[in-house]
């Protein structure tokens, strides 16, 4: 699986968009980019995933660059409950596979 680089921490004002970047320059053609988050000491939670097209769901949007070497997770209107560690995880398609968590980004949403 590809290695990832994420900033260790970011702040965002409540109600503003939070943009969380991830560099995955060694990603291979069949690897999707998955995003999970972990609110303090709770079990991680799936957010969104994509291959090369931008994706949106009820939680977030995912923008993947054309060369697929980086991506940005966007929380459009961050709330205090979005304070968590966010993980970007490249993962091959196909059958269910274990997740490899890096260090992630600690997002703190400020009132």
Q: Which residues bind other proteins (CB under 8 A)?
A: 32, 34, 38, 41-46, 49, 91, 93-103
> Given the complex with other proteins, which of 54 and 77 has the nearer CB atom?
54
SS (H, E, C) the chain: CCCCECCCEEEEECCCCEEEEEECCCCCCCEEEEEEEECCCCCCEEEEEECCCCEECCCCEEEECCCCCEEEEEECCCCHHHCEEEEEEEEECCCCCCCCCCCCEEEEEEC
* Smallest distance, other proteins to C-beta of residue 17, A: 24
> Given the complex with other proteins, which of 29 and 96 has the nearer CB atom?
96
* Smallest distance, other proteins to C-beta of residue 2, A: 14
């Amino acid at each position: 699986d590809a290695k990832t680089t994420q900033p260790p921490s970011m702040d965002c004002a409540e109600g503003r968009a939070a943009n969380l970047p991830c560099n995955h320059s060694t990603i291979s053609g069949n690897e999707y980019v998955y995003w999970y988050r972990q609110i303090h000491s709770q079990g991680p939670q799936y957010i969104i995933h994509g291959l090369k097209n931008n994706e949106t769901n009820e939680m977030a949007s995912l923008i993947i660059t054309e060369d697929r070497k980086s991506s940005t997770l966007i929380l459009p209107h961050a709330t205090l409950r979005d304070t968590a560690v966010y993980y970007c995880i490249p993962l091959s398609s196909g059958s269910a596979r274990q997740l490899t968590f890096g260090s992630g980004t600690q997002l703190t949403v400020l009132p």
